Structure 1
C-alpha cells in the first residue's frame, strides 16, 4: 500500500493588512480595510476585526463602512505587498524540495516521502515559525493527504494557526463543515444543494454520486470527490513565464509622439488582457526603443501588482518621455511586463471605483468571445485601423 501524501497548504493571514501593520503597529487589533475610496471603492482585503462585522473582500467600501463604521480605510502601499511576497517565497524556496506558488500569499508544498527521514508536520511547523520570525507576518498552514483538505485545514486553522488532518480522518474532519467551505463551490451550487436539505459536508457525503451527476452533470463527480476529501492533483513546481512582451517595427521611422503613444496604448491593452486571461499580475513595466541606426534602449520601473491598463498606460507613456530623445526617429518600439505572479484579485487592489472593475470584466468577456480588440480604447482602435495600412509591420 502506498504511503499517504503529506501536502501542506500555506496562507499568509490577511496579507495586505498584515504588511501594513508591520509599518504601522498602531493598526494592530483594529478594524482595517484596504481598498478604494468610501464613495465608489471596493474592499481588497480586511482584518479579522473588520470581518467580525461582516466585511468581506470585493464588497463596496461604502457598504463595508455601514457594517463597520469605525474601520480604518487604507488605500494601499504599492510596492510593499510584492516585496513581502518575494521574502516569503525565498524562505520557502530554500526550505523545501517541492512547492507551488498559487498567488502572492498562498503556497502548496509536497513533503511526501520526507517521513522516512523527518517528521513532515514538524518540518511544516518549523517553516511557519521561520517565516513569522524573519518576516514578522502571521501565517497559517494545513497539512493533509490532498490539496483540497490541506486548504480547508488552513482555513480552519486561521488566524495564525496550524492543523494536521491525518490520513483516514479526512471525512470526519470535513463532515461538520458547511458545504460553502469546499473550495470552488459556487453560490448557485450551494443554493441548489440547500434546496435538497444538504447544508453540511456530512450530508453531502451520504448522497449517491449518481444523484449528484443527475443534478449537476459532470460537476457531480467533482462535488462528490471534494466532499470525500478525494483530490489526486499533484504539486507542480510552476516556474511559468516571468515576463510577457510585444514589439512593432515601423516601415518608416517615426518621431510623432501621438503615433508612438497610440502604439504603446494598443500594445499595453493587448498584454494586460493576456495577463487577466492567465490569472496573473505584473510588478515591473518596461519599454524598448530602437533608433534608425539600430541603437537600442530599454527603461523599466517597478509598479503596483496589476493587470489594469489604466495603471499601466500612464506608466508606459512616462517611460517613453524619459527614454526617448525626441529629435531622433524611432524604428522599433516595444512593451514588456515582468515579475509575473498569479493573483487576479490584485487587479482591483488600488481601484477607486466599482464601475471600472465591472468595465474590465465586461471588456474581457467581449474580447474573449469575439476576439482581441473588439473593445478597446480609442487610441488602440486608431492603431488597429492603421494595421491595414502599409505604414507599419510587426
Structure 2
C-alpha cells in the first residue's frame, strides 16, 4: 500500500434534517427533530439548533422534547433520504476513481496518484462545491493520509467546511483532541479510557500497545494505531447489494405449521441481524414456498423501512399464512429482504417503540460477543445447534 496516500472523507451534514429543509424551507434556522413522533419514539437526527439544547441522535423523543420544547418534530422519510443519498453517490462516482459508500451520508475516496496531475485539495474542493451546487445539501470534507485522520478532519471541519491534514501535520492535529474524536471510541470504551486517566489522543498514543491490548483486546491495538495516525484500511469500491435472502429445504416434506413458523422466525431474525450489522434497512419482505410437487409460490409486501426483528417476523408470518393455502406438503421455505437502503444506525430509529429498539440493541451486543446463535426468541430456540 502506498506510504503517501490521499484519502478523502465526505459527510453530508445533518443529512436527514438537510433533506427536510430542502422540502420545506420554513424549517431553516429552527430546531428540528427527525424520528418517531410519539413519546415512545427515538430521535434519528436533529439540527444544530436542537443540539444546542443537549439533544442528540438515538435519544428518546420524550427527553428531546423536554430539553427543546420548541423543536419541530418530523416523522422522516427513509425512501426520500435514500433517493438524495443516491444522487450524491452518483455525482461522486462519476468523478472520483475509487469510491466507498460508508453509510447513507458518508463516502471515502482514494485519490492516491492524482496529485501528479493536479492538487488533490483543489480537486476535492471543486467536487464538494459541485455537490452543494447540484443538490442543495451541505457537505463537509476531510483530506489526509488515511481513513481515520480524514474522518476526524471532517468532524473538525463541520458544519459545511473542509480541512486538509498533510502527513507532517497528522500528529500535531490529532494530539490535543479528545479521545471521543477517534472513530470506534464508544461510550463504554470512553469511560474505560477516562478511568485510566486518558483524555486526549496524545495521552492515548503514549500508552504501551501491550497495555492497550491487555485492557481492550484487539480493539485496544486498533485505537492505539489510530491515536498514532496509523490506519492502513483500504477504500473499498462501492457496491450496493439489492437484497439478502435465505431458504431451507427439508429432508422430509412437512405440513407442521408450528415447526414452519418457528423456522421462519429463526430465518427472519438471522437476516434482520445481518441487516443491522451492515447498517441497512429493508422495505420489502418476500416469503417463498415450494410444495412437494415442486410448484413454487411467493408473496411479498412493501413496508416502511425497518430492521426490527418483531416487525419483520410478524410480516413474514402473515405472508406465510396468506400464501399457504393448498395444505399440501412443503419441501422448501425461504425469506428475502429487498429494496435495501444503507447507512442507517443499528436499528430503525423511526420506530415508535423504544423498547423494541433497546431489545434489539441488547441482543445484537450479545450476538457480536458470543456468536450469532448465542441468543434468540423462544419460538426459534429449537433450531439453535451447538
Retained in 2: the 8 A contact 1:289–1:330?
no
- Cα distance in 2 for partners of 1:126, 1:315 equals 46
Aligned partner of 1:52 in structure 2 is 52
User: How far 1:88 sits from its partner (Å)?
Assistant: 2.2
In 2, are the aligned partners of 1:6 and 1:145 still within 8 Å (CA)?
Answer: yes
Question: Which position in structure 2 is the counterpart of 1:121?
Answer: 121
**Alignment partner, residue 104 of structure 2:** 104
Give the deviation of 1:144 after TM superposition.
0.5
- Tell me how far apart the structure 2 counterparts of residues 64 and 178 of structure 1 sit (CA, whole Å): 25
Q: Name which of structure 1's ranges 229-238 and 274-283 shifts more when overlaid on structure 2.
A: 274-283
Partners of 1:180 and 1:99 in 2: how far apart? 26
> CA offsets per residue over residues 271-327 of structure 1, 9 Å max, x none?
2133334554434432223355534344445544432123323433555577x4835
1:230-277 deviation per Cα after TM superposition (whole angstroms, max 9, x unaligned): 2222212254754321223464475x9877655543421232133334
SS in 1 for 2:126: helix
Match of 2:315 in 1: 315
Cα distance, 1:176 vs structure 2: 3.2
- How many angstroms does 1:111 deviate by? 0.5
> Residue in 2 aligned with 1:372?
373
In the superposition, the TM-score normalised over structure 2's length comes to 0.83
Task: Report the CA distance shift for 1:212/1:360 in structure 2 as closer, same or farther (over 3 A).
Answer: closer
- With 130-139 and 234-243 compared, the bigger mean Cα shift is at 234-243
Aligned to 2:347: 347
Q: Which residue of 1 aligns with 2:26?
A: 26
Q: Secondary structure at the match of 1:348?
A: coil
Contact 2:104 2:344 in 1 (8 A): no
- Contact conserved, 2:346 with 2:361, CA < 8 A, in 1? no
Bigger CA drift: 62-71 or 287-296? Answer: 287-296
1:99-248 alignment runs, 5 A limit: 99-191=99-191, 193-194=193-194, 198-204=198-204, 221-237=221-237, 239=239, 242-248=242-248
Asked if 1 retains the 8 angstrom alpha-carbon contact of 2:82 and 2:341, the reply is no
Partners of 1:230 and 1:118 in 2: how far apart? 26
Aligned ranges 1:71-86 → 2 under 5 Å: 71-86=71-86
Q: Which moved more, 1:295-304 or 1:152-161?
A: 295-304
Contact 2:276 2:346 in 1 (8 A): no
Give unpaired runs (5+ residues) of structure 2: none
| 1:377 shift after superposition | 5.4
2:267 maps to 267
Q: Give the C-alpha shift of residue 36 in structure 1.
A: 2.4
Residue 152 of structure 1: how far off its partner (Å) = 0.7
How many residues are aligned here?
Answer: 381
| Contact kept? 2:309, 2:360, Cα under 8 Å | no
Q: How far does residue 59 in structure 1 lie from its aligned partner after superposition?
A: 1.5
Runs of 5+ unmatched residues, structure 1: 389-394
The answer to whether the 8 A contact 1:366-1:375 is kept is: no
Give the superposed CA RMSD.
3.4
| Distance in 2 (alpha carbons) for counterparts of 1:242 and 1:157 | 33
Work out the CA distance in 2 between the residues paired with 1:221 and 1:371: 24
For residues 363 and 196 of structure 1, what CA distance do their matches in structure 2 show?
A: 29
Moved more, 109-118 or 14-23: 14-23
- Provide the residue aligned with 1:90 in structure 2: 90
The DSSP-based 3-state class of the residue aligned with 1:345 is coil
Q: CA deviation at 1:141?
A: 1.2
Note if contact 1:291-1:328 (Cα within 8 Å) is conserved in structure 2. no
Instruction: With the length of structure 1 as denominator, give the TM-score of the two structures.
Output: 0.82
> Residue 392 of structure 1 corresponds to which residue in structure 2?
none
SS of structure 1 residue aligned to 2:166: coil
For residues 276-295 of structure 1, the aligned pairs below 5 Å read: 276-291=276-291, 293-295=293-295
Following the alignment from structure 1 to structure 2, what is the Cα–Cα distance between the partners of residues 353 and 134? 37
Inter-partner Cα distance in structure 2 for 1:371 and 1:153: 35
